[in-house]
Amino acid sequence: MTEGEWFTASAPGKFVILGEHAVVYGKPAVVLAVDRRISCSIRRSYRNSLNGEHIDFNRQPHFRYLTRDTHYAMDYVTNSEIPPGSGLGSSAALSAALAMAIRAERDEPSDEMTLVDEAYGAELFAQGNGSPMDASACVHGGGIAVNVPGTDDRHLWTVSRGNRTWDVSDVNVPDMTFVIGNTGVRAPTGPQVEKVRRFVGRNHFAADVVDEIEAVTLEGHASLERDDTVALGEMMTLDHKLLSILGVSCRELNKLVNASLPYSYGAKLTGSGGGGCMVALTDRPEKVCEAISARGGTPYIVQTGADGVRMEPGPSGDPLMEVPLDYPRV
């Protein structure tokens, strides 16, 4: 057979301002898309490959789930500006981009709700637990609020799994500057979510902390809506302390958060924790970057307002020829 036409889609990463972990229990959260993206190019082929090598679908659960109805071989090529295992939504962005590319290759419609359902399904298949927060942010872009009362006029969709329901709404995000600090410590989401689940299940105190995160998130959302960076920063720092009580921070994250605070309105871990990244809200990004670098982290200045998942122009050449031999595996 001849190899087919390439179809390419990309999706942004994200960071959580407020509410991670608590959102798994139906609590509110606020998430912003960032201007770092993952792209996925696909084409029909005579063998299944990922970045030029044989793909073992048993070791790539996101690909296994999203290609479950694909009955022919494909080449898959990924390119990422998002460090994996860092709390920046790399797996959700990959799932969203791959889902859109597959639907484009099949000439099927790709409305946002369908793509969220596919990307969230891949996240659940790979991790076993979680919320549709990351998938919603990577598909929609900009900013989203989850389970925040009083946002009916901006409602996007409702997702239900078992006895849990998440109402997702659009957030009108003002122009703000954030610095993300990467600890370099890989920390998959699943084990961190499971750690909190066990803690909450056996300890009423942990459940109370989750309720406190809810209150902080609602106050932070109100601060974001009125463009009050001082109040928003205070809620971010308080959220970090509560997440630390739940046991999902670590020494490396605390070092970067503490180093950032003198130059920031607030700072906190972002994502599942245990490693990965923290984020600081600041109008002195260069000073925050210096502080993070001095403590061994890798800083990134990021901008708000990133587009959601989208189709990209097809590659001018064969992207398999451009994959470096040491390309990090998804």
Report residue 142 as tokens: 């900009």
The enclosing H or E element of 139 equals helix 133-140
Residues 243-254 have a mean pLDDT of: 94
Q: Does the structure show a pLDDT above 90 at 154?
A: yes
Total structural domains in the chain?
1
pLDDT-derived band at 322, boundaries 50, 70, 90: low
249, 240 contact by CB (below 8 A): yes
Residue 319 lies in a domain: no
Domain coverage including residue 17:
7-310
What's residue 194's pLDDT? 84
DSSP annotation string for 243-255: HHHTT---HHHHH
| Ranges 74-78, 106-110, 203-207, 260-264: which has the least confidence | 203-207
Report residue 226 as tokens: 């009125």
Residue 321 lies in a domain: no
189, 218 contact by CB (below 8 A): no
Q: How far apart are alpha carbons 185 and 255 in whole angstroms?
A: 13
141 vs 127 pLDDT, higher one = 141
Cβ density class 99-124: b for 16+ within 10 Å, e for less: bbbbbbbeeeebebeebbbbbbbbbb
272-284: pLDDT as tens digits: 888 889 999 999 9
Q: Does the structure show a pLDDT above 60 at 324?
A: no
Residue 77 lies in a domain: yes
pLDDT-derived band at 161, boundaries 50, 70, 90: confident
| Ranges 164-168, 187-191, 276-280: which has the least confidence | 187-191
Residue 1 lies in a domain: no
Residue recorded with tokens 């959220």: 239
Residue 327 lies in a domain: no
Residues 224-242 have a mean pLDDT of: 96
Residue recorded with tokens 């063998």: 47
Q: Phi and psi at residue 157, in whole multiples of 5°?
A: -165, 165
Q: How far apart are alpha carbons 86 and 69 in whole angstroms?
A: 30
pLDDT-derived band at 2, boundaries 50, 70, 90: low
Kindly provide the residue ranges of all beta strands, DSSP E only, lying in the chain, ordered along the sequence: 7-18, 29-44, 49-50, 53-54, 74-80, 143-146, 155-161, 164-170, 177-182, 266-270, 277-281, 298-303, 310-312
Residue 323 lies in a domain: no
CATH number of domain containing 82: 3.30.230.120
With pLDDT > 90 as the criterion, what percentage of the chain qualifies?
70
What secondary structure letter does DSSP report for 307? Answer: B
Q: Does the structure show a pLDDT above 60 at 309?
A: yes
